[in-house]
Amino acid sequence: MRIERWRYAVPLRLRSLLRRGRVEGELDEELRYHVDRLVEANVAKGLAPEEARLAALRAMNGLEQQKEACRDARRVTLLEDSVADLRYGFRSLRRDARFTAVAIMTLALGVGLNAAVFSVVNGVMLRGLPYPDADRLVSLWEENLREPPANMSTSGVALGGASSPGRTTVAPANLVDYRGRTRSFAGLAGQSPKATPNRGLSSRPSRSAPRPR
Amino acid sequence: MSKPPDLVQGTLDLLILKILALEPQNGWAISQRLRQVSGDVLQVSDGSLYPALHKLEQEGWISAEWRPSENNRRAKFYSLTRPGRRHLERETANWARLSAAISHVVRLREA
């Protein structure tokens, strides 16, 4: 809708909302005027007053329906109806305390569960790992592309990722070599399934690792 | 419900705007005018005029004002707004285009 039309439409909408009684009164008056003129015309045509009135109302084609259609034209019925529904909702809640208690408990339970699940998801999946430059942390592993030989049986587990059947444990000596020769990473660290660092390898990234170029 | 069946959809609005372009009128006078100028061909039920008027008012095409009518009772007079006048021009052009096209099709001779 263009700005110029809003100049007419906005005051009308506000008036329909805020001066509802007045607007309704005017609707009544407007239609009553029409009906009265119709009655006059019918009387002038020679009908009896009572008959003239009935004919006029028939000609209006359902006075109440027309009024309702005029109210719909105001485009605020949705808002008015929603307010009425809300009021009705609050009234029913006040009337039935047991139902209200159940409803509130259901809501509280839902909200609580949601918060709990979210805090877990947030901690495990969304928030970064508690290391410096956590957004630059990646996991590396060795993988057998073909069938792993029978004598190499253990499979590696990636940091925060699922293990695939082809993954193997990185030998500590390999890790030392990787660490010494890598050019793509600032540093490398090993992770052991056991909680304690073993065989002299740190389970945490070393802070003395060279910074990336 | 609000539109009489023998009136082409949407034309009631056009008729009302045209009548109001001539001079501001109240609902009753508009209905009388409609009946006169169309020679009773266009029958608009007295009631269904008002939803159409209120819709046009809410759209900003027409504006309303309470004034004493010819029998000294106050009545709601509608008049065309400036955007309404432009809308009427557009709709009139549309109508001319559409009705010309339809008459053309209807007059086609069978081979």
Q: Which residue of B has its CA nearest to A8?
A: B60
Q: Could you give the 3-state DSSP secondary structure of residue A30?
A: helix
From the list A8, A30, A34, which residue is nearest B46 (CB)? Answer: A34
Helix (H) or strand (E) holding A184: none
DSSP annotation of B65 reads E
Q: Could you give the 3-state DSSP secondary structure of residue B63?
A: strand
- Closest-CA residue to B21 (of B68, B71, B88): B88
Inter-chain CB proximity A33 and B61 less than 8 Å: no
Task: Convert the pLDDT of each residue in A26-46 to its tens digit.
Answer: 999 999 999 999 999 999 999
Helix (H) or strand (E) holding B49: helix B49-59
Contact list in A for residue B57 (CB cut-off 8 A) is: 8, 12, 73
Contact list in B for residue A1 (CB cut-off 8 A) is: 59-60
**CA–CA dist A166, A143 (Å, integer):** 5
**Residue, of A3 and B75, whose pLDDT is higher:** B75
In the predicted model, is pLDDT for residue A159 greater than 70? no
Could you tell me the two tokens for B60? Answer: 């900003």
- Closest-CA residue to B31 (of B78, B84, B81): B78
Contact list in B for residue A55 (CB cut-off 8 A) is: none
Could you tell me the two tokens for A182? Answer: 């890598």
Q: How confident is the model at residue B7 (pLDDT cuts 50, 70, 90)?
A: low
Give, in degrees to the nearest 5, the angle at Cα A90 between A86 and A91.
115
In the predicted model, is pLDDT for residue A213 greater than 60? no
Determine the pLDDT at residue B57.
93
Determine the pLDDT at residue A164.
62
**Is B82 an interface residue toward A (CB < 8 Å)?**
yes
Could you tell me the two tokens for A26? Answer: 């005017």
In the predicted model, is pLDDT for residue A123 greater than 50? yes
User: Which ranges constitute the DSSP H helices of chain A?
Assistant: 3-18, 20-44, 49-59, 63-73, 77-95, 97-121, 172-181
Chain-wide mean pLDDT for chain A?
Answer: 80
In the predicted model, is pLDDT for residue B95 greater than 80? yes
Determine the pLDDT at residue B1.
43
**Residue, of A57 and A132, whose pLDDT is higher:** A57
Q: Which residue has the tokens 């045209």?
A: B18
ipTM of the complex: 0.83
Backbone φ and ψ of B68, nearest 5° = -65, 140
Determine the pLDDT at residue A1.
61
- Closest-CA residue to A186 (of A124, A140, A122): A140
**Is A13 an interface residue toward B (CB < 8 Å)?**
yes
From the list A8, A34, A61, which residue is nearest B28 (CB)? Answer: A34
**What type of residue is B17?**
L
- Closest-CA residue to A57 (of A38, A41, A30): A38
Q: Could you give the 3-state DSSP secondary structure of residue B42?
A: coil
**CA–CA dist A32, A57 (Å, integer):** 10
User: What is the C-alpha R_g of chain A?
Assistant: 39
**Is B59 an interface residue toward A (CB < 8 Å)?**
yes
**Is A14 an interface residue toward B (CB < 8 Å)?**
no
Determine the pLDDT at residue A150.
54
Average pLDDT in the A90-116 region? 93
Inter-chain CB proximity B47 and A59 less than 8 Å: yes
